[in-house]
Chains A and B, each alone.
Chain A
Amino acid sequence: SQTIHQWPATLVQPVGSPLSLECTVEGTSNPNLYWYRQAAGRGLQLLFYSVGIGQISSEVPQNLSASRPQDRQFILSSKKLLLSDSGFYLCAWSVLSYEQYFGPGTRLTVT
């Protein structure tokens, strides 16, 4: 069966510090991968998606970036965090662009 992992589960970082969040998927090949952010009490905002290694599409211009170094690994990064980057970050995967399966999320607080 397929599983998706995200870490860390929670993170507190000062403004201006770098960020690296990792997502890995097991049990499937060549999945589409997605990064979302959810602000408190708000809906899901798609940040990046990838249909293959090294292929990244950005939906929202911001100080975040994403990379896909391996088929089942998706990384979200920032060189300098802003207060507005606080939120709940979710990774998801799908096959054939149908339903998506989400990871447990990372709660990021920028102080």
Chain B
Amino acid sequence: NAGVTQTPKFRILKIGQSMTLQCTQDMNHNYMYWYRQDPGMGLKLIYYSVGAGITDKGEVPNGYNVSRSTTEDFPLRLELAAPSQTSVYFCASSYRAGGPDTQYFGPGTRLTVL
């Protein structure tokens, strides 16, 4: 049981390049989330999904896209990378939304845009 896995661990992009951050969970959770964490700040929700084929925007969605074709996978797409997207990205999943149920987090992807 690997939990939530993310690839890659690190990536450097040039301005204007695109990339996809991969996220997979093996806990059969319906709910999945993408967060970003900037230095000295808390995590901010980018997008979330309540199940395969259903996604919605979080607090900071601009510049990102997501898709959810399976229960296990929730990739995050950056189309035109900008320096403001330099951050650490965390994927998470949960059995239910909100309440006391914890979200399980992946180890993160550290992205630098130069």
A associates with B: no
Residues of A bordering B, CB below 8 Å: none
